Amino acid sequence: MTANPARYVYGPVPSRRLGRSLGVDLVPLKTCSYDCVYCQLGPTSNPTTERREYAPVRDVLSGLHATLASGSAPDYISLAGSGEPTLHSGIGEIIRGIKAMSAVPVAVLTNGSLLWREDVQRDLLQADLVLPSLDAGDEAMFRRVNRPHGGVSFAQVVDGLASFTRQFSGDVWLEVFLLGGLTAEPHEARKIAALVRRIAPTRVQLNTVTRPPADPSARRVGLKALEGLASLFPGDVDVVCEAPWGHAPAGAAPAAIRDDIMAMLARRPCTAADVANGLGVPPNEAIKHLDALVSEGVVGPRVVDGRCYYAAVGGQSAAPPSTEA
Ligand code: SF4
């Protein structure tokens, strides 16, 4: 049976960092080399460092071609996913295919864990913009915040970030996701800043928790505190975090999607993954629609057993299950 190629492409969706971003979802939900405490997609269900063709390259490219032909004019085509996109062994071929069909710049959002590998470097050197992450200043904090797969070493990750950035002719915007009580402590942030100096990205982008995290102990850092921490980092530094969920001026969800989501949530609280499966869209797109409904005040998030459920505010939906939904 052939998969629907459109399932791998979503948007364009508004992105604080990338403007109008046409997303490409390269791996199944929570296929990742990390299990970050702050992940908005929930706990990692498939922890791995194995590179595979998780989505058929041909289907990804035909889905993109159809979306671009329908008149979409995004600022970026963003290779991301419901996990770590460099785990897709065909990402280099996909970037080449996009370049052959469109002049829209290609951005890759990656946790950076595989950037030390020559094959991953070769693949990503073809992109226009790479947005990797570095959330810790030493191995112990790395294990606490990013909870990596056993095969990932912190020293290798930092070496890979530095080596890739040296070779890449495009821009590297390094995201540093700071957590209250942990990495937002000035002595921890200084350790990260020292590594950033060595990596020398084009820009540093400081972020923090804005959506319900995989682990409810992951704490948001206030905007003023983030702005203060920015002075510890070298070079051009942006504070890119959005307002916390429920306060963000997100764009309105399209009426048909809004009705579908509200009908689902009227029956029972759902995770973003449930909504994505119900609508047949990637989780990142479902999250954007849920954000809009939370901003309107008609949907509320609630974390139960480490999973974030969305429920209709004032609705009749049952309580979230206390274990696996
Ligand atoms: S935040 Fe990104 S890197 Fe971390 S677990 Fe989620 S998908 Fe993986």
| CA–CA separation, 227 and 186 (whole Å) | 12
pLDDT in tens, 126-135: 999 999 999 9
pLDDT for the residue numbered 250: 47
Test site for ligand 1: of 39, 44, 176, most ligand atoms within 8 A of the Cβ: 39
Question: Does the CA dihedral 301-283-109-115 come out positive or negative?
Answer: positive
Closest residue to atom 7 of ligand 1, CA basis: 83
DSSP string, 270-287: B-HHHHHHHHTS-HHHHH
Ligand 1, pocket residues at CB < 6 Å: 32, 34-36, 39, 41, 44, 83-84, 111
Q: Is 314 exposed, middle or buried (0-12, 13-18, 19+ CB in 10 A)?
A: exposed
| CA–CA separation, 221 and 73 (whole Å) | 34
pLDDT band at 2 (very low <50, low <70, confident <90, very high): very low
Most confident option among 12-26, 227-241, 242-256, 285-299: 227-241
What φ, ψ does residue 100 adopt, rounded to 5°? -75, -20
| CA–CA separation, 26 and 94 (whole Å) | 10
42 three-state secondary structure: coil
Please say if the pLDDT value at position 210 is more than 90: no
pLDDT for the residue numbered 269: 81
Render the burial of 33-72: b for 16+ CB within 10 Å, e for the rest.
Answer: bbbbbbbbbbbbeebbbebeebbebebbbbbbbebbeeeb
Taking residues 231-248, what's their average pLDDT?
78
Taking residues 152-175, what's their average pLDDT?
98
Of 100-109, 163-172, 230-239, 284-293, the poorest mean pLDDT is in: 284-293
Nearest ligand 1 atom to alpha carbon 133: 3
More confident residue, 204 or 244: 204
Residue 131 Cα to ligand 1 middle (Å): 13
Block residue for tokens 């979306």: 67
Q: By C-alpha distance, which of 54, 47, 46, 50 is closest to 80?
A: 54
Average confidence score pLDDT of the chain: 87
| Whether 43 contacts 83, CB under 8 Å | no
193 three-state secondary structure: helix
| Whether 134 contacts 112, CB under 8 Å | yes
Domains, the chain, ranges and CATH? Answer: 5-239 (3.20.20.70), 255-312 (1.10.10.10)
In Å, what is the CA distance from 247 to each residue of 113, 206, 244, 294? 32, 19, 6, 8
Of 74-88, 210-224, 235-249, 258-272, the poorest mean pLDDT is in: 235-249
Nearest ligand 1 atom to alpha carbon 81: 7
Helices (H), the chain: 57-69, 91-101, 118-124, 139-145, 154-167, 186-199, 223-230, 255-267, 272-279, 283-296
Taking residues 247-251, what's their average pLDDT?
48
More confident residue, 325 or 41: 41
pLDDT for the residue numbered 56: 96
Q: What percent of the chain has pLDDT over 70?
A: 89
Please say if the pLDDT value at position 256 is more than 90: no
Block residue for tokens 């319900």: 212
Test site for ligand 1: of 26, 41, 115, 209, most ligand atoms within 8 A of the Cβ: 41
> β-pairing, 9-15 with 19-25?
antiparallel
| CA–CA separation, 12 and 61 (whole Å) | 16
pLDDT band at 271 (very low <50, low <70, confident <90, very high): confident
Taking residues 181-206, what's their average pLDDT?
98
Please say if the pLDDT value at position 324 is more than 60: no
pLDDT for the residue numbered 146: 98
More confident residue, 318 or 75: 75
pLDDT band at 325 (very low <50, low <70, confident <90, very high): very low
Q: What is the pTM of this model?
A: 0.82
Taking residues 279-302, what's their average pLDDT?
81
In Å, what is the CA distance from 261 to each residue of 147, 279, 292? 32, 8, 11
Please say if the pLDDT value at position 251 is more than 70: no
Residue 317 Cα to ligand 1 middle (Å): 30
